[in-house]
Structure 1
Amino acid sequence: MGTKNNNDLFYTCSLIEYIGRQMKRTRKEVVDCLTKERIQRIYEFADVFHCEPIEKVADEFIQECHMNSGTFDNVQACRYKIPDYWDIGEVYERLIEDCYDDHKIVDGIWEVYHSWIDAQISNYNSDFYYQPRDYIAACYEEGVVL
């Protein structure tokens, strides 16, 4: 479908993951707080944001959105080795690349984070997030874990 290894998408998804961990919010909640317009901006200017430490960029968006802390802590709930936020960002990036055309990337971000698969990827006690990308894309498109 889309361009393989879309670095701007990778950064956008990793930032969403980072913010979710910082604020103890589901990734869907993070996306809702950010709004589609801000996500578009992050995606368009990812190469610029990437020059700054992710902590600083995350903090600026958290402040701008007036995002408060939640109670979703999938890192604390993890009984095994916690995947890095860049690793999880890559899972979302690949899924969105595999299922959406380049001109639909921001819609793809919105739809994926608002779908059932968000909870699956965020469950670090399952092995779902490190399955092959084509398997994850097939599950997403079928609407169930195959």
Structure 2
Amino acid sequence: MDKNNNSLFYTCSLIEFISRQTKNDRKDVIEYLGEDLERIYDYEDVFHCEPIEKVADDFINRNNIPTGEFDNISTCKYNVPDYWEIGEVFERLIEDNYSEKEVFDGIREVYSSWLAEKILNFNSDLYYQSREYLTECYKDGEIIIS
């Protein structure tokens, strides 16, 4: 897959934003979005022209995404990375492990993985690690300790 895929970056960032707004786990937001996940990816250039708050609100209402109880923000003891930063972490992880044809499988699999849970623990520094390190952890199925 091409590096710096803008459509994937925006899609992952929007998933993060919606998750924070609705207090749902990211993998659940993906399920609620259903076919709109592909719509977001395909029309990122159009959606990106609007404020992300408006786009998120439209998709939350369109897909009746309920308020959940997942909250990894209020438990964070340190600076919370913004949704663009976390979107980039997930974009890179998907890019490095899936082809362009597999992008939607990649989105679903990465966000449902054990590593997503670890990355989203903002009390750790895992989301700051290099893309190469995260890819190796993902492939190995565990946190690599050197």
- One of 33, 45, 48 as aligned partner of 1:47: 45
Contact 1:100/1:108 (8 A) holds in 2: yes
Shift of 1:62: 0.4
Query: Which residue is equivalent to 1:24?
Result: 23
**TM-score, normalising length: structure 2:** 0.96
What is the CA-CA distance between 1:16 and the residue it aligns to? 0.1
* CA deviation after TM superposition for structure 1 residue 47, in Å: 0.8
Counterpart AA for 1:111: E
Contact 1:23–1:69, Cα closer than 8 Å, also in 2: yes
Q: Which residue identity is paired with 2:65?
A: M
The residue aligned with 1:4 is 3
Q: Give the distance between the partners of 2:92 and 2:49, measured in 1 at CA.
A: 22
Aligned position for 1:144: 142
Q: Secondary structure at the match of 2:66?
A: coil
Structure 1 residue ranges (4+ consecutive) displaced by more than 4 angstroms after TM superposition = none
- How far the C-alpha of 1:27 sits from its partner, in A, is 0.6
Secondary structure of the corresponding residue to residue 56 of structure 2: helix
Matched ranges for 1:93-104 at <5 A: 93-104=91-102
Quote the Cα distance in structure 2 between the aligned partners of 1:67 and 1:101: 29
In 2, the alpha carbon distance for the partners of 1:31 and 1:133 equals: 22
- List aligned pairs for 1:65-80, cutoff 5 A: 65-80=63-78
Q: CA deviation at 1:117?
A: 1.4
**Structure-1 separation of matches of 2:28 and 2:69:** 11
The alpha-carbon deviation at position 102 of structure 1 amounts to: 1.3
Q: Which runs of 5+ in 1 are unaligned?
A: none
Letter of the structure 2 residue corresponding to residue 8 of structure 1: S
1:66 positional shift = 0.6
**Structure 1 vs Structure 2: percent identity of aligned residues?**
57
CA root-mean-square deviation: 0.8
Secondary structure at the aligned position of 2:13 is classed as helix
Number of aligned residues: 144
Displacement of 1:145: 1.1
Q: Deviation at 1:18?
A: 0.2
Matched, 1:33 2:37: no
Q: TM-score, normalised by structure 1?
A: 0.96
For the Cα contact (< 8 Å) 1:91–1:129, is it kept in 2? Answer: yes
